[in-house]
């Protein structure tokens, strides 16, 4: 009898607990992980802000560090190249050490790099600090996306990612404006130092809201492949930096390029002989994958450095203030946001091949139209063209980013995402280097008029490169995609 009594108590507790659960309102995964959503959104915002806020400060930074504005490209390309090199390592780091520790370490490194950027006294110090920033930034977005995929219910995932992406776009909108305001009214150093308190708040939120996901036994990391890829990328960027010196050290530049090519060939050989390569090149057998990557590479070579050139043109060539030049970058971000509202309908109507063929040529024409600008061009006309260019460029980016998943099985989505992000940032770094090198080569003096003429010829050459990318998208099969994927953010 006592035995029956002791067994009946847990049963009664279970019934009472079940009734209590039924009485409680259902809590959605989005509500449960509200703090996580804010943490990831803040990380996206901080990285987007930092990627755009520097552009308007380049002339002031060059003056403070006793460099030419075009000579500051290494401070921009080093950050983006670091992102490209380290992003493939993010998934393995999460599996091995856990999402909370990796995300926390990324915040610390990003904040420390920002602090050192703000304290830099030479270009070399600034580049080293930007590399440290890139080491931290490389994990922020991939880990943030991964954790949201694991935590948020599928029915609410698109809404959650839209919220996070909106904060990223907001950072792109505010970045140039904030950069211009800080340079004009305070100091360019605050552009980096404002990240420090944000990083401290992020560490507190990470400890409180970031879930811990890791594997008991992670796959072995492809260290050899990673080092081959990193060395090849760094040497290619070094070759582009050498091309900007005067006189050009042709032997050193050829040596860097040749070794980079050999390392690239070595990686291809290595990737075919390892079970878990850092980049699975067998995915390139899928037409939509290699077209997306190759087309994205050549497109970004043409347009990645455009807004740096425009800021320099407005400030150096036309005598605009940093704040006015930063304000002129806002229409571009607004146009990119507007493009996300129509991407699905446009893809459904035209399909990937026709849309990318036509839109690439439109982007090239709009890029060439910037050559018509001069010191006397009305501000409203520059803003209008910047908005149109931002809209079609945003349409281009989103379409290219979704194309890579069009014919892939879901099991390859993670690797495809890593490869797409790597190529994206790699192309951005070389696009910035290419645009500044072209302008530097076309510059015939130091007067404002010389800068205007060099800008015009540079954007025309970049427009030709962009238009040539349409030939890559022409390799897609006609009417391959009649149903659009959800817009990538």
Looking up residue 61, the CATH number of its domain turns out to be 1.20.1250.20
433-473 pLDDT tens trace: 888 888 888 888 778 888 889 999 999 999 999 999 888 98
Which tokens in the block code for residue 277?
A: 């390569």
Domain boundary (277, 300, 320) is at 277
Residue 482: how many other CB atoms lie within 10 Å: 11
Kindly list the distances between the CA atom of residue 320 and the CA atoms of 165, 180, 189, 255, 317, in Å, as whole numbers in the listed order: 31, 11, 20, 41, 8
Which tokens in the block code for residue 194?
A: 């404002």
Q: What is the pTM of this model?
A: 0.76
Which tokens in the block code for residue 369?
A: 């139209």
Supply φ then ψ for residue 395, to 5 degrees: -60, -40
Whether residues 232 and 162 share a domain: the answer is no
181-192 pLDDT tens trace: 888 888 889 888
CA contacts within 13 A on the Cβ side of 2? 0
Has residue 469 been placed in a domain?
A: yes
Whether residues 384 and 270 share a domain: the answer is no
Has residue 100 been placed in a domain?
A: yes
Amino acid 86: pLDDT? 85
Kindly list the distances between the CA atom of residue 242 and the CA atoms of 100, 239, 250, 260, 391, in Å, as whole numbers in the listed order: 40, 5, 8, 14, 35
Amino acid 32: pLDDT? 62
What is the rounded distance in angstroms from the CA atom of residue 425 to the CA atom of residue 81?
6
Peptide bond into 45 cis (omega under 30): no
Supply φ then ψ for residue 329, to 5 degrees: -85, -15
What is the rounded distance in angstroms from the CA atom of residue 169 to the CA atom of residue 337?
7
Whether residues 391 and 338 share a domain: the answer is yes
Whether residues 249 and 329 share a domain: the answer is no
Whether residues 179 and 90 share a domain: the answer is yes
Amino acid 257: pLDDT? 86
Average pLDDT, the chain: 80
Handedness of CA 140, 325, 385, 438 (dihedral sign): negative
Has residue 425 been placed in a domain?
A: yes
All residues at 6 or more sequence positions from 447 whose CB lies less than 8 Å from its CB, including other chains? none
Reference 402, options 418, 422, 417; nearest CA is: 417
Whether residues 252 and 284 share a domain: the answer is no
Domain boundary (189, 213, 237) is at 213
Whether residues 296 and 247 share a domain: the answer is no
Whether residues 37 and 177 share a domain: the answer is yes
Q: Which of 34-43, 46-55, 131-140, 327-336 has the lowest mean pLDDT?
A: 46-55
All residues at 6 or more sequence positions from 487 whose CB lies less than 8 Å from its CB, including other chains? 340, 343, 344, 398, 402
Has residue 347 been placed in a domain?
A: yes
Do 298 and 469 touch, CB atoms closer than 8 A? yes
Whether residues 305 and 242 share a domain: the answer is no
Do 260 and 93 touch, CB atoms closer than 8 A? no
Has residue 162 been placed in a domain?
A: yes
The winner for highest mean pLDDT among 218-222, 317-321, 425-429 is 317-321
Whether residues 141 and 45 share a domain: the answer is yes
Quote the number of domains for the chain.
3
Do 294 and 424 touch, CB atoms closer than 8 A? no
Whether residues 249 and 293 share a domain: the answer is no
Place of tokens 């390592």: 89
What is the rounded distance in angstroms from the CA atom of residue 358 to the CA atom of residue 365?
11
* 140 pLDDT more than 80: yes
What is the rounded distance in angstroms from the CA atom of residue 479 to the CA atom of residue 276?
34
Whether residues 117 and 198 share a domain: the answer is yes
In terms of residue numbers, what domain contains 329? 279-489
411 burial via Cβ count (<10 Å: 0-12, 13-18, 19+): exposed
Domain boundary (163, 194, 213) is at 213
What is the rounded distance in angstroms from the CA atom of residue 398 to the CA atom of residue 466?
16
Has residue 103 been placed in a domain?
A: yes
Kindly list the distances between the CA atom of residue 394 and the CA atoms of 3, 46, 84, 150, 387, in Å, as whole numbers in the listed order: 71, 20, 20, 28, 10
* 219 pLDDT more than 90: no
Segment 76-80 shows an average pLDDT of 83
The winner for highest mean pLDDT among 12-26, 65-79, 95-109 is 95-109
Do 400 and 296 touch, CB atoms closer than 8 A? yes
Axis-axis angle for helices 34-53, 154-185 (nearest 10): 40
What is the rounded distance in angstroms from the CA atom of residue 95 to the CA atom of residue 101?
11
Amino acid 370: pLDDT? 94
Which tokens in the block code for residue 431?
A: 């696009």
Has residue 482 been placed in a domain?
A: yes
Has residue 11 been placed in a domain?
A: no
């Amino acid at each position: 009898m006592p035995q029956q009594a002791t067994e009946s108590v847990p049963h009664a507790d279970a019934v009472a607990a079940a009734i209590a659960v039924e009485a409680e309102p259902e809590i959605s995964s989005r509500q449960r992980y509200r703090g996580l959503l804010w943490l990831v959104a803040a990380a996206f915002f901080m990285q987007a802000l930092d990627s755009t806020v520097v552009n308007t400060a380049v002339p002031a930074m060059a003056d403070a560090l006793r460099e030419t504005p075009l000579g500051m490209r290494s401070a921009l390309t080093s950050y983006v190249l670091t992102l490209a090199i380290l992003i493939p390592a993010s998934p393995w780091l999460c599996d091995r050490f856990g999402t909370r520790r990796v995300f926390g370490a990324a915040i610390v490194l990003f904040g420390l790099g920002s602090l050192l950027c703000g304290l830099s006294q030479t270009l070399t110090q600034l580049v080293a600090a930007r590399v440290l920033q890139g080491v931290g930034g490389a994990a922020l977005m991939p880990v943030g996306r991964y954790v949201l995929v694991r935590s948020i219910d599928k029915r609410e995932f698109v809404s959650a990612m839209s919220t996070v992406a909106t904060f990223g776009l907001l950072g792109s909108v505010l970045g140039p404006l904030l950069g211009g305001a800080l340079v004009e009214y305070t100091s360019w150093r605050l552009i980096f130092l404002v990240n420090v308190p944000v990083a401290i708040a992020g560490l507190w939120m990470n400890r409180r809201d970031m879930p811990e996901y890791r594997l008991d036994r992670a796959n072995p990391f492809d260290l050899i492949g990673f080092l081959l890829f990193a060395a090849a990328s760094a040497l290619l960027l070094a070759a582009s930096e050498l091309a900007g010196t005067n006189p050009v050290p042709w032997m050193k530049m050829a040596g860097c390029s040749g070794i980079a090519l050999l390392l690239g060939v070595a990686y291809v050989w290595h990737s075919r002989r390892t079970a878990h390569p850092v980049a699975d090149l067998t995915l390139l057998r899928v037409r939509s994958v290699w077209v997306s990557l190759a087309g994205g590479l050549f497109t970004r070579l043409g347009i990645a450095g455009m807004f740096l050139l425009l800021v320099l043109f407005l400030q150096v060539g036309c005598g605009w203030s940093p704040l006015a030049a930063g304000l002129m970058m806002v229409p571009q971000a607004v146009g990119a946001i507007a493009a996300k509202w129509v991407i699905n309908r446009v893809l459904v109507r035209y399909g990937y091949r026709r849309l990318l063929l036509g839109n690439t040529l439109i982007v090239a024409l709009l890029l060439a139209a910037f050559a018509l600008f001069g010191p006397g061009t009305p501000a409203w006309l520059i803003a209008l063209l910047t908005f149109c260019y931002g809209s079609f460029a945003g349409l281009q980016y989103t379409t290219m980013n979704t194309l890579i998943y069009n014919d892939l099985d879901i099991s390859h989505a993670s690797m495809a995402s890593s490869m797409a992000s790597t190529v994206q940032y790699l192309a951005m770094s070389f696009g910035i280097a290419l645009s500044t090198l072209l302008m530097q080569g076309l510059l015939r003096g130091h007067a404002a008029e010389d800068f205007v003429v060099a800008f015009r010829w540079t954007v025309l050459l970049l427009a030709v490169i962009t238009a040539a990318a349409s030939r890559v998208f022409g390799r897609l099969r006609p009417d391959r995609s009649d149903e659009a994927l959800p817009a990538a953010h």
